[in-house]
């Protein structure tokens, strides 16, 4: 077994399983801030009911995020010791800052948010909801600073094969960091919005008539309708940044084997590494040049300029297309939903039936986008500084195969448990046994 | 921070890692212990037990991330060696922690007929994590040797550490519950105490056997006198705990229910102190010192800056959270 490939698959499996939960919970945390604000203005109304329900869904999602995140924190050292050895001067402080500034904050105030409503003043309670949301976002800020730095390193010099930090502002706000952070924040907002829309639609479909459901459906659809075009715009800017700093990745995303002007946009193609060409191309002339260089005959550098230093083309090419395609679908769905809700007419049944299977649709472009950018950075772990293969530890391929199998099995089970539990909660609403906050104690908990 | 010498920096991070690990084993120790004890109780009592740890377990587990994180970022070479040597135990620990964390939520959120399943998963996950951590401690004490005697020793330490967590959990329950459950918690604490004590004895005997350096450190003539308070205090704490649990009467002694929890914390701190005294300045016993394992000086300074700014607020709001949920947790309800 090739330990490099297995380590990469294991890392990918761990981080993929992890990221789907924060992607929901970061956006959902800010929805809760909004819902709490509305509920405080109209006590005991529909927004209170909405808060009661969604805070439980948040708790479940957050717990899955925490446990997979703890696992994540051990992956850096177990499979990639060369990473810390070479770039520890940058990665160390950034990871430490994430743990210190974000993890404790969100975990501690989550406890108050979930169990402290009757024990603290409304102001402190509201502050806790804000701090949980702030904590999740701070965590995103630090980890994306580090991840972006791995794509576009800045503010450092390499001495004796090791990175030395010179300028922390340049390290944190490295060239791709603002784009990637905005892109991921919007991804989280969109993923959470479709999640709330899907669950709310499901609750309407099974005959729940609560006003809170209508309110969250409307709230989420407005957010989705605003966020989706912004996200596509942010993605475009991010693409320009990739064009400037990571031309090999961009060439793989466009399936461009040779440097050209008037580059067509490929809607479909099967990139072939062996022949250095594409099969079955369906293309729109000059559109890629227009999108990337904002000029119809702009030049884009092809893969041939990066011999042996470009990423595998097929997954990057298709990851990108899956992301964009799903994103456009989400844009259409969000605008259609908003249009119906704006008419203050009931959302038609067929649309609700579309929204329910789209509950987790945000996971698809998020994961596809991450696969595009991370595979697109290969063969480097840190662009121009450290190759992935050079960061590998001494753990044997067989051992990694064993641990990988255990993780995959566990994650497959947990993912299906998560999805079914979310829908079970949607079905039983806030009427879960023992969850009624109006009861002084929870003797109703099933024994 | 020009005044900071490298020695001071490395020492600060060794101390910080020690503090984070102690904070973890004490804090997550009690909630892992409650998880292990869960199958001993029934129905309503189980919910009461879960309520005592509900607002805290997330933050408690964060100390593991901090401890592991400091090892990773401040002593990267040691992190590589230790996690390589304990790859399997770490994997098992992580799976245990995952099971436990999700079960905690699922037991009340999944369909009611699955409650038993998730209760069991919560207990199994807690026990698995505790055993794996115990094995890691045992393996650390024998300097990660791979011969069968060393592995057997590590396997012996595993249930002792689990038992120590159980003792922690039982003491926590005595503090946070009342009536019959509190009475039973005292009984569980009494039972867990003996394996815990055995673990302390095992580790205390093994370290000087494994390392002549450690032997000299404890058993030279002057050192015996200076260091004797540690074993004496440990012995005293064990005896006091045992008597306290034995004589406990929930109706009369509740106002002193803080005593076992405090004593158990003391026991953990003394054991940690003894182990730190034995190993210092090594991070892998007799192989790798903190001086050789530490990251570069600028890196350490940068991390320390964050620690100095952020750790005091963490301590303040953690204390705030414990104050909010102080007292018996009988009347806890989820938002």
Write out pLDDT tens, residues B105-149.
998 888 888 888 999 999 999 999 999 999 999 999 898 988 998
Within A343-396, residue ranges assigned H as helices are: 349-355, 363-376
Taking all residues of chain A, what is their mean pLDDT, rounded to a whole number?
89
Residues of B in contact with A110 (CB under 8 A): 58-59
Least confident of A138-142, A258-262, A356-360: A258-262
Radius of gyration of chain A (CA): 23
pLDDT the model gives residue A1: 63
A80: exposed, middle or buried (Cβ count in 10 Å: 0-12, 13-18, 19+): buried
The residue of chain A with its CA nearest to that of B334 is A115
- By CA distance, what is B103's nearest residue in A? A63
- Contact between chains at B84 and A78 (C-beta distance less than 8 A): yes
Preceding omega of B63 cis (within 30 degrees of 0): no
Nearest to B128 by CA among B153, B157, B152, B162: B162
Mutate to test the interface with A, among B71, B136, B334 (most CBs of A within 10 A): B334
pLDDT over 70 percentage in chain B: 98
**Lowest mean pLDDT, pick from A57-66, A301-310, B132-141:** A301-310
Q: Sort strands A260-261 and A156-159 into parallel, antiparallel or unpaired.
A: unpaired
Query: Given this model, what pLDDT does residue A439 score?
Result: 35
At residue A262, the 3 state secondary structure works out as coil
* DSSP classification of residue B248: -
Measured between CB atoms, which of A56, A66, A433 is closest to B58?
A66
Q: What is the pLDDT of residue A441?
A: 36
| Phi and psi torsions of A156, nearest 5° | -135, 165
Q: In angstroms, what separates the C-alpha of A174 from chain B's closest C-alpha?
A: 18
Range of the domain at B141: 6-324
Q: Which class for A395: exposed (0-12), middle (13-18), buried (19 or more C-beta within 10 A)?
A: buried
Q: How many Å is the maximal CA-CA distance in chain B?
A: 64
Chain-chain contact of B64 with A70 (C-beta, under 8 angstroms): yes
pLDDT, residue B180, reads 87
Residue with tokens 């083309």: A313
In angstroms, the separation between the Cα of residue B217 and the nearest Cα of chain A is 32
**B1 falls in which pLDDT band (50, 70, 90)?**
low
ipTM above 0.90, yes or no: no
Write the pLDDT tens digit of every residue in A161-204.
889 999 999 999 999 999 999 999 999 999 999 999 999 999 99
Are A424 and B311 within 8 A, CB to CB? no
Q: Which two tokens stand for residue A282?
A: 């369906």
Residue among B102, B115, B298 minimizing CB distance to A64: B102
At A284 the three-state DSSP class reads: strand
pLDDT bucket at B38, cuts 50 / 70 / 90: very high
Q: Which DSSP state fits A263?
A: P
Could you say which DSSP state residue B190 is in? H
Structure tokens at B212: 């002549």
B76 → closest Cβ in A88, A110, A435: A88
Closest C-alpha among A94, A178, A98, A188 to residue A382: A94
Which residues of chain B make contact with A421, given a CB cutoff of 8 A?
106, 109-110
H helices, E strands: number in chain A: 14, 8
**How far from A333 is each of A26, A226, A233, B47, CA to CA, in Å?**
22, 12, 17, 43
Distance between B108 CA and the closest CA of chain A, angstroms: 8
The residue-averaged pLDDT of A347-366 equals 93
Residues A211, A53: Cα–Cα separation, whole Å: 13
Q: What is the pLDDT of residue B332?
A: 64
pLDDT of residue B307: 92
pLDDT at A388 over 80: yes
**Statement: residue A144 has pLDDT above 90:** yes
C-beta neighbour count of A287 within 10 angstroms = 16
Whether the per-residue pLDDT at A434 is higher than 70: the answer is no
Nearest to A357 by CA among A418, A428, A419, A417: A419
Interface test with B, best of A96, A118, A429 (most B CBs within 10 A): A96
- Pairing between strand A260-261 and A299-300? antiparallel
Q: Which among A104-118, A126-140, A240-254 has the top mean pLDDT? A: A126-140
Tell me the chain B residues in contact with residue A55 when contact means C-beta distances shorter than 8 Å: 335
Has residue A127 got a pLDDT over 90?
Answer: yes
- Distances, alpha carbon A183 to alpha carbons A27, A173, B28, in Å: 13, 15, 36
Partner-chain residue, chosen from B302, B303, B335, that has the shortest CB–CB distance to A115: B335
Chain A residue nearest residue B97, CA to CA: A67
Average pLDDT over chain B reads: 89
Query: Which residues on chain A are in Cβ contact (under 8 Å) with B111?
Result: 424
Cβ atoms of residues A221 and A333 within 8 Å: no
Whether B74 is in a domain gets the answer yes
Partner residue facing B303 (CB), from A71, A93, A162: A93
pLDDT digit string (tens) for A205-259? 998 888 889 889 999 999 999 999 999 999 999 988 998 899 999 999 998 998 9
Please state, in angstroms and rounded to a whole number, the distance separating the CA atoms of residues B33 and A140. Answer: 32
Using the beta-carbon criterion (under 8 Å), do B77 and A85 form an inter-chain contact?
Answer: yes
Instruction: Give SS3 for B296.
Output: coil
Peptide bond into B237 cis (omega under 30): no
Closest CA to B234 of B199, B208, B258: B199
CB A266 within 8 A of CB A254: yes
> What are the tokens at A407?
């993780």
Contact of A102 with A65, CB cutoff 8 Å: no
Whether B61 and A97 lie within 8 Å, measured CB to CB? no
Specify the pLDDT at position A436.
Answer: 39
**Token pair for residue A167?**
């300028």
Average pLDDT of span B47-75:
90
Which class for B24: exposed (0-12), middle (13-18), buried (19 or more C-beta within 10 A)?
buried
Put simply, the answer to whether B95 touches A410 (Cβ < 8 Å) is yes
pLDDT given at position A277: 87
Does the structure show a pLDDT above 80 at B211? yes
Q: What is the mean pLDDT of residues A120-148?
A: 94
Mean pLDDT calculated for residue range B284-312: 90
Count up the domains in chain B and report the number: 1
Are the C-beta atoms of B307 and A100 separated by less than 8 Å? Answer: yes
Cα dihedral A351/A352/A353/A358 (nearest 10):
90
In terms of CA atoms, which chain B residue is nearest residue A91?
B73
Residue B331: predicted pLDDT: 62
């Amino acid at each position: 077994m090739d330990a490099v490939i297995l380590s990469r698959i294991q890392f990918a499996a761990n981080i993929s399983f992890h990221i789907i939960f924060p992607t929901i919970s970061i956006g959902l945390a800010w929805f809760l801030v909004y819902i709490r604000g509305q509920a405080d203005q109209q006590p005991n109304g529909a927004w209170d009911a909405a808060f009661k329900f969604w805070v439980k869904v948040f708790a479940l999602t957050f717990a899955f995020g925490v446990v997979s995140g703890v696992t994540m924190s051990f992956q850096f050292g177990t499979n990639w010791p060369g990473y810390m050895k070479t770039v520890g001067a940058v990665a160390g402080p950034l990871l430490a800052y994430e743990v210190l500034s974000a993890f404790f904050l969100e975990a501690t105030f989550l406890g108050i948010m979930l169990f402290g409503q009757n024990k603290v003043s409304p102001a402190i309670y509201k502050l806790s909801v804000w701090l949980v949301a702030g904590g999740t976002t701070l965590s995103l800020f630090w980890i994306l600073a580090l991840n972006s730095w791995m794509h576009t390193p800045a503010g450092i010099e390499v001495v004796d094969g090791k990175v030395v930090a010179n300028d922390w502002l340049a390290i944190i706000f490295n060239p791709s960091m603002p784009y990637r952070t905005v892109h991921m924040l919007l991804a989280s907002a969109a993923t959470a919005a479709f999640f709330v829309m899907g669950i709310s639609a499901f609750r309407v479909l099974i005959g729940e008539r609560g006003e809170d459901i209508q309110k969250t459906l409307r709230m989420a659809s407005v957010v989705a309708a605003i966020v989706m075009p912004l996200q596509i715009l942010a993605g475009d800017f991010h693409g320009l940044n990739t064009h400037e700093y990571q031309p090999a990745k961009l060439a793989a995303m466009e399936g461009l084997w040779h440097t050209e002007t008037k580059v067509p946009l490929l809607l479909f193609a099967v990139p072939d590494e062996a022949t250095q060409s594409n099969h079955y191309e369906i293309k729109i002339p000059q559109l890629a040049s227009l999108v990337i260089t904002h000029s119809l005959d702009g030049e884009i550098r092809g893969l041939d300029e990066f011999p042996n230093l470009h990423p595998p083309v097929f997954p990057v090419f298709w990851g990108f297309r899956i992301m964009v395609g799903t994103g456009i679908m989400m844009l259409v769905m969000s605008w259609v939903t908003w249009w119906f809700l704006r008419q203050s007419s009931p959302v038609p049944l067929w649309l609700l039936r579309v929204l329910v299977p789209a509950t987790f649709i945000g996971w698809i472009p998020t994961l596809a986008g991450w696969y595009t950018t991370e595979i697109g950075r290969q063969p480097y772990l840190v662009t121009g500084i450290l190759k992935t293969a050079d960061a590998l530890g001494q753990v044997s391929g067989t051992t990694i195969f064993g641990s990988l199998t255990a993780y995959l099995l566990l994650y497959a089970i947990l993912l299906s448990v998560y999805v079914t539990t979310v829908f079970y909660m949607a079905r039983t609403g806030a009427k879960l046994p023992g969850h009624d906050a109006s009861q002084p104690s929870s003797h109703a908990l099933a024994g | 921070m020009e005044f900071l010498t490298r020695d001071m920096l490395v020492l600060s991070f060794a101390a910080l890692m020690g503090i984070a690990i102690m904070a973890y084993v004490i804090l997550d120790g009690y909630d892992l212990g409650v998880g292990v004890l869960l199958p001993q109780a029934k129905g309503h009592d189980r919910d009461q037990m879960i309520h005592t740890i509900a607002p805290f377990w997330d933050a408690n587990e964060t100390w593991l991330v901090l401890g592991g994180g400091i090892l990773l970022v401040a002593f990267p070479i040691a992190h590589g060696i230790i996690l390589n040597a304990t790859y399997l135990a770490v994997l098992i620990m992580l799976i245990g922690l995952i099971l436990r964390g999700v079960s905690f939520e699922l037991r009340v959120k999944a369909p009611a007929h699955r409650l038993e399943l998730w209760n069991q998963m919560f207990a199994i996950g807690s026990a698995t994590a505790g055993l794996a951590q115990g094995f890691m401690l045992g393996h650390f004490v024998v300097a990660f040797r791979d011969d069968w005697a060393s592995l057997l020793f590590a396997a012996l330490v595993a249930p002792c550490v689990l038992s120590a967590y159980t003792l922690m959990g039982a003491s926590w329950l005595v503090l946070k519950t009342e009536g019959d459950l509190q009475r039973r918690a005292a009984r569980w604490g009494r039972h867990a105490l003996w394996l815990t004590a055995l673990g302390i004895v095992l580790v205390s005997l093994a370290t000087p056997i494994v390392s002549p350096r450690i032997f000299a450190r404890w058993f030279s003539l002057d050192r015996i006198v200076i260091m004797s308070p540690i074993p004496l205090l440990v012995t005293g704490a064990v005896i006091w705990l045992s008597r306290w649990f034995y004589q406990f009467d929930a109706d009369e002694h509740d106002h002193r229910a803080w005593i076992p929890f405090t004593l158990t914390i003391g026991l953990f701190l003394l054991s940690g102190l003894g182990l730190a005294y034995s190993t210092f300045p090594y991070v892998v016993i007799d192989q790798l010192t903190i001086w050789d394992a530490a990251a570069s000086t600028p890196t350490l300074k940068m991390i320390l800056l964050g620690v100095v700014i952020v750790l005091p607020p963490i301590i303040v709001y953690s204390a705030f959270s414990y104050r909010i949920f102080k007292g018996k947790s009988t009347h806890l309800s989820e938002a």
